[in-house]
Amino acid sequence: MTDIIKKVEKNILEYNLISAGDKILVGFSGGPDSTALLYSLKKLSRKYDFALAACYINHKIRPRAVKNEIEFCRNICVKLKVPFSVIEADIPAHADELKISMEEAGHRFRKDALSYMAGELGCNKIALGHHLDDLVETILFRLIRGTGPQGLNPIRPIDNNKIRPLYNISRSEIEQYLQKNKIESVLDRSNLRSKYSRNYIRNKIIPAIERHFGDRYRSSIFNFSRILTEENHFLNALAREETGKIASLTPGGKIVVDLSRFTAYDVWLKRRIIKILLERLSGRRGTGSFEDIDRIMNLPDSRIKALNLTNGINVAADRDLLIFFDRKITIEKSPLNINGITELKGVDIRIKCSTVGSGKASLKKQKQGRKINIDYSKLILPLYARGIKKGDSFSPLGMTKTKKIGDYLTDKKISRYIRDEIPVLFDQKGVVWLIGHQISNRLKIDESTQKVLTIESIGNETAGIT
């Protein structure tokens, strides 16, 4: 068994990368890295009882070379008896449409494509050919571009269902393994062009570093990355714990933060909390540049109280809240089931209605809350729910004069950034209940009430961030 196989096996055992019965999709381009990955995993598959499949991703960037590469990969997979698939997308068109670089567009597509193919093929893990030199290049690239400590350890041996068995193996070791075992691979000549940032680092900067400092720089940067990984793991656990204490999720999927508690934290903790919230809202790890995070941190003390970030996320500081959201919520009009549960469209709220005799319901005036009692005989059915519209008004409990809902919420100091996800219940005469805030005075129950309608708002009033 060659050294690289031993190293891959050690990584599998040390980091629990693979379990018996796993089916693993290998991202296979035919290049040295993915070829070494496929061969080494195939070598170990019988011993550790796992199955393999391989997928080639065609970016439609090098049409002449791709045909030969696909044929090469297919022949390798036939030889190794590994199922082979191809998935493709027009990356130049995709990059142009999203107004992002070809590198970024390719990265996004590879991630999504491999996840899709893994699902189609019944694979529970995805193996990637990232190695030690990739880690070094990524750290240098991100340092130059600008990043915080969390961005300096981007390549991990295992990340959810993605595994990197070669992550601590150098490119030269991979090349020696292929040469010693007379295993062919293909060369992506676009990697030789230094017009792309990563390629420039690989082809120009790293050779200069190696000439001046020798090849020990790899192990130094690798050790630096491991230390950062361990420290980030500890600090992120603390940040997630604190995030759960001060942040909550609204019915419409916005994130609200207790600003008074947030501002009391130390700077490093604020940055990590913001990073956690941006990633949570976008659903994409890595969301939130240093500049964006800094702007958000300064928002409460700035004259400008709202930011529109480049990734479509909005952040606003309003009174005692810091609010993160990516869209305006629309609560569609929904008829209510008088004796049942109705699920509202647009927010995570269900409305439960039930009728009871007056003796079973409290006659106490209810000003707020998620459950109310109203006089059934005073309703003009049918009932329905929708979002607040401009001009909506009602007479709040205890008042005979009408008041615009917007003015009522302003008086109650309810942020304008979350009003779009407050449902309003109506009958044919007007507002019945501004959910969670107030009922209409005309529907109050009293000693003459014979039948009571109990209405309850069920679901996510505010849920903790985990």
Structure tokens at 345: 């469209």
Helix (H, G, I), strand (E, B) or coil at 454: strand
Question: Is 151 inside a domain boundary?
Answer: no
First to last CA, the chain: 45
Domain final residue, candidates 270, 299, 325 = 325
Whether 189 and 288 share a structural domain: no
pLDDT band for 367, please (50, 70, 90 cuts). very low
Quote the CA–CA distance of 284 and 16 in Å, as a whole number: 25
**Cβ atoms 387, 334 nearer than 8 A:** no
Quote the CA–CA distance of 347 and 387 in Å, as a whole number: 10
Amino acid at site 435: I
Question: Is 149 inside a domain boundary?
Answer: no
Instruction: Report how many domains make up the chain.
Output: 3
| Per-residue pLDDT at 105 | 64
**Residues across the chain:** 466
Whether 102 and 208 share a structural domain: yes
Question: Is 221 inside a domain boundary?
Answer: no
CATH at residue 240: 1.20.59.20
Quote the CA–CA distance of 386 and 425 in Å, as a whole number: 7
- The neighbouring-strand residues paired with 348 are none
List for the chain the helix, strand, coil content (%; round to 5).
Answer: 45, 20, 35
With tokens 């129950």, the residue in question is 445
Quote the CA–CA distance of 328 and 348 in Å, as a whole number: 15
Backbone phi, then psi, for 125, in 5-degree steps?
A: -140, 155
**Cβ atoms 296, 276 nearer than 8 A:** no
Question: Is 134 inside a domain boundary?
Answer: no
Quote the CA–CA distance of 147 and 62 in Å, as a whole number: 31
Q: Strand pairing of 125-127 and 23-27?
A: parallel
Residue 121 CB partners (closer than 8 Å, separation 6+) = 23, 25, 53, 55, 83, 85
CATH at residue 203: 3.40.50.620
Structure tokens at 418: 């979350």
Mean pLDDT of 407-417: 93
Structure tokens at 38: 């496929």
- The neighbouring-strand residues paired with 453 are 355, 374
- Least trusted range by pLDDT, from 30-39, 92-101, 146-155, 345-354: 92-101
Whether 196 and 288 share a structural domain: no
**pLDDT tens track for 34-72:** 999 999 999 999 999 999 999 998 866 666 778 889 999
Question: Is 455 inside a domain boundary?
Answer: yes
Angle at 361 between CA 360 and CA 363, to 5 degrees: 135
Domain final residue, candidates 269, 299, 325 = 325
What are the start-end ranges of the E strands in 59-127?
A: 84-88, 125-127
pLDDT band for 363, please (50, 70, 90 cuts). very low
Question: Is 150 inside a domain boundary?
Answer: no
**pLDDT tens track for 322-341:** 999 998 899 999 999 998 99
Whether 120 and 63 share a structural domain: yes
Distance of CA 347 to the CA centre of its chain: 19
| Per-residue pLDDT at 3 | 84
Helix (H, G, I), strand (E, B) or coil at 318: strand
Whether 101 and 16 share a structural domain: yes
**pLDDT tens track for 259-289:** 999 999 999 999 999 999 999 998 887 788 8
Mean pLDDT of 206-214: 87
Structure tokens at 244: 């759960």
Mean pLDDT of 206-224: 87
Question: Is 405 inside a domain boundary?
Answer: yes
With tokens 């960037």, the residue in question is 61
Whether 345 and 317 share a structural domain: no
Tell me which residue range forms the domain holding 432: 334-460
CA distances from 194 to 35, 189, 201 (A): 24, 11, 8
pLDDT band for 228, please (50, 70, 90 cuts). confident
**Cβ atoms 466, 244 nearer than 8 A:** yes
**pLDDT tens track for 232-261:** 889 999 999 999 999 999 999 999 999 999
Is the full-model pTM beyond 0.85? no
